[in-house]
Amino acid sequence: MTSDLQKMLEAAKTARPTSADREEQRRSFVYGNTHLENELITREMVAREAEKLTKVRRAD
């Protein structure tokens, strides 16, 4: 393993994802799992539903 790769791995251990990073990962996970079951599901559909949920949560 090169020293550059080792440095990157060490930095990754302490990296903290932002809330935007977590949201992107969540949507990707949802898309991947739902698309396996139903090929008609699109990333746009997941994004649209996620936005609706965000609005509902803010209203509460």
Q: What is the pLDDT of residues 14-54, one digit of tens each?
A: 999 999 999 999 999 999 999 999 999 999 999 999 999 98
Whether this model's pTM surpasses 0.75: no
| Domain range summary for the chain, segments of one domain joined by + | 17-59
Judged against a pLDDT cut of 90, whether residue 57 lies above it is answered with no
DSSP secondary structure, the chain, as one string: --HHHHHHHHHHHH----HHHHHHHHHHHHHHHHHHH-TT--HHHHHHHHHHHHHHHHH-
